[in-house]
C-alpha cells in the first residue's frame, strides 16, 4: 500500500504540473508575434515623451529659466528619481537652414521634481520660448 500511495502522489503532482503549464498553441502564437515585429522592422523609440506645461512661478513672479515638464507615464513624486539628471530635447523647425537642416534643438537637464503629481523642473541652455508651451519634448 505504501508504494501505491507514493505513485499516486507522483501522479497527482504530475497532473497539477500539466494543468499549470502553458499550452503549446500559446507558445507558438508568441513566437509568431515576435516574427511579425522583425518583419515590420519598426525603429525602437529610445526616449520618453513629455509636454512643456509652463514655467516655475509664484503668484506674482515667473522664472523662465526653469521649465515645468510633464513626463509621459510619471504620475507621482516617487517615479521622478529615475529621470533626475537625464537630458531633455526641445526640437523645433526654423525658417532658414543651418548646417543643412531646418530643425534646431534646445537641450536641458532635469533638476528636480515639482509638486506631487510627477512634474519635473528642467533647466535649458537657453530658456524655452513661450510659444513652446504645450509642445512635445523628448
The 10s digit of each residue's pLDDT in 55-84 is 999 999 999 999 999 999 999 999 999 999
Contact 121, 50 (CB under 8 A): no
- Give the chain's mean pLDDT: 84
Helices (H), 46-89: none
pTM to 2 decimal places: 0.69
The answer, yes or no, to whether residue 128 has pLDDT greater than 70, is yes
Amino acid at each position: 500500500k505504501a508504494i501505491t500511495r507514493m505513485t499516486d502522489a507522483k501522479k497527482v503532482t504530475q497532473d497539477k504540473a500539466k494543468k499549470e503549464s502553458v499550452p503549446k498553441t500559446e507558445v507558438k502564437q508568441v513566437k509568431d508575434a515576435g516574427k511579425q515585429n522583425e518583419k515590420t522592422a519598426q525603429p525602437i523609440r529610445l526616449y520618453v515623451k513629455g509636454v512643456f506645461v509652463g514655467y516655475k512661478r509664484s503668484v506674482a513672479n515667473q522664472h523662465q529659466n526653469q521649465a515645468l515638464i510633464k513626463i509621459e507615464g510619471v504620475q507621482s513624486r516617487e517615479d521622478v528619481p529615475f529621470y533626475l539628471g537625464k537630458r531633455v530635447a526641445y526640437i523645433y523647425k526654423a525658417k532658414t537652414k543651418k548646417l543643412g537642416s531646418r530643425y534646431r534643438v534646445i537641450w536641458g537637464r532635469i533638476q528636480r521634481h515639482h509638486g506631487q503629481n510627477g512634474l519635473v523642473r528642467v533647466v535649458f541652455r537657453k530658456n524655452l520660448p513661450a510659444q513652446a508651451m504645450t509642445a512635445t519634448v523628448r
